[in-house]
Structures are given as C-alpha cells and as structure tokens.
Amino acid sequence: MAVYTEVSDEALAAFLSQYDIGTMVAFRGIAEGVENSNYALRTSGGDFILTLYEKRVEVADLPWFLGLMEHLASQGLTCPVPVKAKDGEALRTLCGRAAAITTFLPGVWPRRVRVEHCAPLGQALASLHLAGAGFAATRVNALGPHGWAPLLARAAPDADLVAPGLGDELREALNAILTSWPTDLPRGHIHADLFPDNVFFLDGKVSGLIDFFFAATDLFAYDVAVCLNAWCFEPDFAFNITKGQALLGAYDAIRPLSVAERHALPVLCQGAALRFALTRLYDWINTPAGALVTRKDPMDYVRRLRFHLQARSEHAYGL
C-alpha cells in the first residue's frame, strides 16, 4: 500500500487542465501497489487512475509499458488504457515525477485465492500472451535470469541474517537453475508480475489485468511459472495441484503449451521462485524501519523454491 508523493490540489488542477476529461470531482490515494503512487481520480468525464512513477520504474521504459497497455487494450484485453492529453501525449510530469492517467477498471482482486479463480486467471494469461503478438518493440527482462546473479551478489552478504545457510542455498540453486535454463521456448511479451493483487474479478470472471511495470519480452512459460508460484500455493506453502491443473488447463486451452514448455516447468518455476526470493531478500535487508511499505518475507519464496527443486517433472504441477 502506498502513496509516496502527495499531489497538491493546485498541481492537480493544473495537470488536469492539460486533458480533455472534464473537471475534478474526487481524488483519493489508493492503498495498493508497492512501487508507485496511485490515486483514484473522478472527473465529470468519468473514473480514472492517476499514477506517479516512483523508484524501481525506469522512466525510459515508461513509453514501452504505456505502449504495450494501449496495444493490449486495442486487441481486446481488459487492462488500463493510457489517456492522452490534449497534445496527444499520455506520459507527463507531475510533482517532479513521471505520471500518467489511465482508465479505471471495475472488479475486486482476490485476497484469498480459491480454485475457481485459477482457470479464469489461466485464460487471461494466455489471452495476454496472444494479444501482445503485434507489438513490435521489445524490452529486456531486467529481473530475468541474467539479473539474478547480480541481485544475489548484492543480497548474499546479509542473507544468513535472515536464515543461517540461506546464502549458500540460494547460490547453489541459482547455479543449477542457470545451467538448465531453457533458451529456445516460445517468447513474447509477458506480464512477469501477475500476482492476485494485479487481477480483478467480477462475477467469477477476470474483469481486468493491471500493473504492467515489470512487463518484458521473455519466455511465455516463465510467466506461467510466475503465476503457479503466486496463485497455487496454500498459506502453509503446500502446492495445491488442483489449482495448478485449473490454471494450466485453462491456459493450454487458449495457448497450447509445447512439449518443451511442459518439460521446462520445474526449472521455470524454480527460477520464478528464486526471482521473488531475491528481490524480497534485497528489500528485506534494505527497507528502513518506519518505511511506508510492509516488507514481504523472502522465506515465503525460498520455501516455494524448495518445492520446485524436488519436482521431477511437469506432473508435479498437475499436467
């Protein structure tokens, strides 16, 4: 939950005057998203989200993110659509931050994932992968396999303070994962962070996908692995194979998984678990006391990683 930058009413009024979306009606900080400042904005023209981009989002990447969202929406995917100002530009500056207004999506993200959420999620993920096809520009996944060794190097000196032996455990896992990492699987634009709080549901259906600020061009099946990690573990860190089957079956029905993608699921899941373990570890060590964000326990993903390291095949996930 986060509002890092407070926007004064004068600054907001001046900002809105650059758009053709009516006059201010309401403006409330949203307690969701840990990377950016988000506001629910209502004008006489409708409902919108105003985002101020904070740390971790590269300003140079914002045109790619906003362009991808616009493209996905044009292909029928329900995601926030960047709203262009009178000058035709969606990406602007407010309070010294890069900022953009996007459309408001209805729906509620699931605080507790149930089996019934997993098939709609799988369908939405496959639809996202297909919808990205016509968007030509690419973005390297900074938090993909090439980014993990540097992340570990930065976090490793303090890893053993979180759990004794954790540094060695992660180093060993990283080496094994990189050695068997697949390179020839189908690629395209992936969300790379499709956690439950980024997926809205309404009446049992996905009503929208949000927060594309980790999106990149990478292996489709890696995105599936991120979702298996984020959606299919129970609070006791047991993998729920019924959820896995629902997610994978629904995905496969829209974008069939190749034999190679299926075989690679264990290592892809290991990599996805490692990626979130590493960024959480880094944040755990580097979040100052009294910060506005709740630190997330890196061990949640270390425990997922351990599950994936003992998975012998894709059958462990319900395939």
Residue 43 touches a second copy, criterion: CB under 8 A: no
Nearer to a second copy, 10 or 87 (CB): 10
Residue 234 touches a second copy, criterion: CB under 8 A: no
Q: Please list, in sequence order, all residues whose beta carbon lies within 8 angstroms of the beta carbon of residue 79, skipping any fewer than 6 positions away.
A: 69, 72, 73, 105, 208, 209, 210, 212
- Shortest approach of a second copy to residue 26 CB, angstroms? 5
Residue 60 touches a second copy, criterion: CB under 8 A: no
- Shortest approach of a second copy to residue 25 CB, angstroms? 5
**Pairing outcome for strands 199-202 and 97-103:** unpaired
Cβ proximity of 172 and 108 under 8 Å: no
- Shortest approach of a second copy to residue 233 CB, angstroms? 17
Q: Of the candidates 26, 137, 161, 163, which one interacts with a second copy according to CB under 8 A?
A: 26
Buried residues in 247-286 as b, exposed as e (16+ CB within 10 A): bbebbbeebebeeebbbbbbbbbbbbbbbbbbbbbbbbbe
Residue 107 touches a second copy, criterion: CB under 8 A: yes
Query: What is the contact mask toward a second copy in residues 118 to 157, using x (rule: CB under 8 A)?
Result: ----------------------------------------
The helix or strand, by DSSP H or E, that contains position 307, with its residue range, turns out to be: helix 299-309
Under rule CB under 8 A, which residues in 251-290 are in contact with a second copy?
A: 287, 289-290
- Shortest approach of a second copy to residue 148 CB, angstroms? 26
The helix or strand, by DSSP H or E, that contains position 197, with its residue range, turns out to be: none
Residue 160 touches a second copy, criterion: CB under 8 A: no
User: Considering only 64-72, 86-94, 107-115, 164-172, which stretch makes contact with a second copy by CB under 8 A?
Assistant: 107-115
Distance CA 136, CA 128 (A): 15
Torsion-angle region of 196 (φ positive above 0: left; ψ -120 to 50: alpha; else: beta): alpha
What's the N-to-C CA distance of the chain in angstroms?
36
Under rule CB under 8 A, which residues in 194-223 are in contact with a second copy?
A: 200-202
The beta strand positions in 119-204, using DSSP E, are 187-190, 199-202
Nearer to a second copy, 295 or 315 (CB): 295
Chain positions contacting a second copy, by CB under 8 A? 1-3, 6-10, 12, 24-32, 40, 42, 104-108, 110-112, 114, 200-202, 287, 289-292, 294-295
